[in-house]
Amino acid sequence: MIAIDDQPFSIVEDLGFRRLIEFIEPCFTLPSWRHFTDVSLPALYNEVAAHIRMLLGKNVTDISFTTDIWSSDRRYGAEFELPASFSTYQWSLIENAATLLAPFEEPTREISSHTATASDVIPSVEALKRLLNKSLSTDSSVKTTKVALLEAVNQRFKGIYAEPLYFLATILDPRYKDRFFDQATKQRATEMLLRQLNKMTEPGNNTENERNETEPPLKKTCTESEVGATSLLHMYGEILEENMAKEQQTNQTSPAGQQMNAYLSEPPISRSESPLQFWKSNMSRFPALAQAARKYLSAPCARVDSERLLSAASNVIDEKRNRLMCEKAEMLLFIKKNIPLLLS
């Protein structure tokens, strides 16, 4: 409770807490706070740490992590003279702007999840670009903003098409496979995956440097102008449906190549399903691909988790625990983050 709920050690000496324990179990003698800091906390820390080491020792060949540094930016305040009420045109403008920005919220929430991986990057960007390329009735008065947003997305994410991590993670995700690539990108991605599979299956060669595979980025353009739904989820389905009819098989004689062809020939699973659970269930069918998936689908697509950890640290050290030693604070933070793995 102290670690999970960010409670101070002194809670065990609070009158209300002691009366609660006495009511629940009158014969129980509650130890002092010193016992919890010097005995209980290190014991629980060692138990959780041993469980984490056990999980990492189960044939784990690669580990992905994200990190961040704390930074402080200046806060600017400004006073704006807002009208007492908005005109009909102003309300319409606000509604259209909200409709335009709504699709940006969807991928933001998704990639902020602790289950999001690098495989979510390319599909999210492609779906967002397709939606911004569509002409909708709600574009009135926000067309310039929409064009600027599309240009910003193209500019900011142009580097993902030169990073092998995103290609390989996407094609190894059974929710996406190669359905979000154009033909040239699809060929490049499958060739890169096959090279990685052959390297990983070579005896005595379990690691490789993917960045040596980097090539110049391939530009992807979308010319779809048909009026469609404003849901980003609809864009995912639209792209998947279009590419279902464009499947082309390459002749592969190696076991890894045959696995890849069989895997890509099957329809993608639902986006609501877990890609990791898929590979756990299909490991015997696609052993080489499952091994690669364990490596590339472990990579996070954002640094949100590390930022959450920084926020959690501010809850560990507060006014009631301002004299907490660094070692104890680290133990509490480690337990709070990892104890769900022990309890699951």
Output the pLDDT for position 174: 94
Angstrom distance (rounded) from CA 69 to CA 13 = 36
Output the pLDDT for position 92: 85
Residues of the chain scoring pLDDT < 70: 65-85, 201-232, 242-253
The pLDDT tens digits of the residues spanning 118-158 come to: 899 999 898 889 888 888 877 878 889 989 999 999 998 88
Angstrom distance (rounded) from CA 101 to CA 169 = 27
Query: Which residues, including other chains, have CB under 8 Å from residue 111's CB and lie 6 or more apart?
Result: 120, 121, 124, 301, 302, 304
Angstrom distance (rounded) from CA 296 to CA 164 = 10
- 129, 153 contact by CB (below 8 A): yes
The pLDDT tens digits of the residues spanning 187-234 come to: 888 888 888 888 876 665 544 444 334 333 333 333 344 334 456 677
Output the pLDDT for position 2: 81
pTM of the model: 0.66
Q: In this structure, how many other beta carbons lie within 10 angstroms of the beta carbon of residue 244?
A: 11
Helix (H) or strand (E) holding 320: none
Output the pLDDT for position 282: 93
